[in-house]
Structures are given as C-alpha cells and as structure tokens.
Structure 1
Amino acid sequence: MVYPIFANVAASVSELKKNPMATVAAGDGAAVAILNRNEPAFYCVPASVYAAMMERLEDIELNAIADARQGEAVVKVKLSDL
C-alpha cells in the first residue's frame, strides 16, 4: 500500500531509538517522518517548528472568530466607563 509522506526525510523507529538527536538533525530544521514497517507512524518536528505551527493554528482560530463577529453591531465604550 502507498502512503503519503509529508516530509523530505524519513527514518525508521529503530534509527530514532538508536540516536534520537541525530534523527531530528537529519531533518535540517524540518519534520522527519518516522516509519514503522515502512509506513508513517508519526512525525518528529523540532521545537521551533512545533511552536510556529501552534502560533499559526491560533491565528487561524482568531481569524475565524473575527470573521464570525464581523457583522455584529459595534458597541462604543469610553475608557472611563471601564
């Protein structure tokens, strides 16, 4: 069976167990697909990539909230009222 792999670098679970940091480094800052019996089991991503993905997801969620509220009436508030 053919599986899509969303990474330029792939490694086996055995390789990951032998030397985890070298496996991550092989991705050169990008995700590494970890294969189990020649099919993708999970992706190993550096912390900086994971943080960027989480920020992007948060931005998407905030944009969806803003889009949903776009048609709502504007309520003016004075700073002194707060």
Structure 2
Amino acid sequence: MQTIQANVTASISELKKSPAQVIKQAGDEVVAILSHNVPSAYLVPSAVYEGMVEMMEDYKLIKEVKTALNSKEKPIKVKFDEL
C-alpha cells in the first residue's frame, strides 16, 4: 500500500467538480489527489513549491561545495570585495 504524503486529500472527482473549493479547504496544506484511494498527484500551494525549489537548489549547491572541498585542487584565495 502506498503512503499518502499529505494531511489533506481529495478525489479526482472532487477536484474536477470544484478545484477552487479544494484549494480553499486545503489552505496552506498540500493536497493528495486520490484515484481509487491511491495518490495519483499532489496539489502543492505556490509558497510550498517555491520553498521546495529553494531547498533543492541549496542541496545542489551543498553537493557542489562538498565536491570542491574534497577535490585535490588547491583553493584560490580572493577577497570578498574582489567577487
């Protein structure tokens, strides 16, 4: 059985019938859209999505920094004002 990764759920039929109502009832919460009681999609508020994108960008940057720190290349010293 698949885990539902949201506190709010709605069926595809509910979403088709009244998408604005589903969004309004969810408030700032992610909505799991269910098809036959199985999540088929997630409706994510824009603020949550923007936060997720920012976290993914931060994660990618952290990986790049770790790779650079673990490389054998000699770092180049620069002053902050030179950047």
Once the two structures are TM-superposed, the CA of residue 76 in structure 1 deviates from its matched residue by: 3.4
Q: How does 1:10-29 map to 2 (within 5 A)?
A: 10-29=9-28
Paired residues of 1:8 and 1:27 also in contact (CA < 8 A): no
Q: Which runs of 5+ in 2 are unaligned?
A: none
| Distance in 1 separating the partners of 2:57 and 2:19 | 29
Distance 1:26 1:39 in 2: 20
- After the TM superposition, which parts of structure 1 deviate over 4 Å for at least 4 consecutive aligned residues? none
1:75 match: 76
TM-score (norm 2): 0.84
- Number of residue pairs aligned between Structure 1 and Structure 2: 79
Match of 1:46 in 2: 45
| Alignment root-mean-square deviation, CA | 1.8
Q: What's the secondary structure of 2:10's corresponding residue?
A: strand
CA distance in 1 between counterparts of 2:43 and 2:24 reads 10
Q: How many angstroms does 1:77 deviate by? A: 5.1
Provide the C-alpha distance between the structure 2 equivalents of 1:52 and 1:77, rounded to a whole number of angstroms: 31
Alignment partners' CA distance in 1, 2:62 and 2:47:
23
Deviation by residue 1:48-69 (Cα, 9 ceiling, x = unmatched): 1111100000000000000110
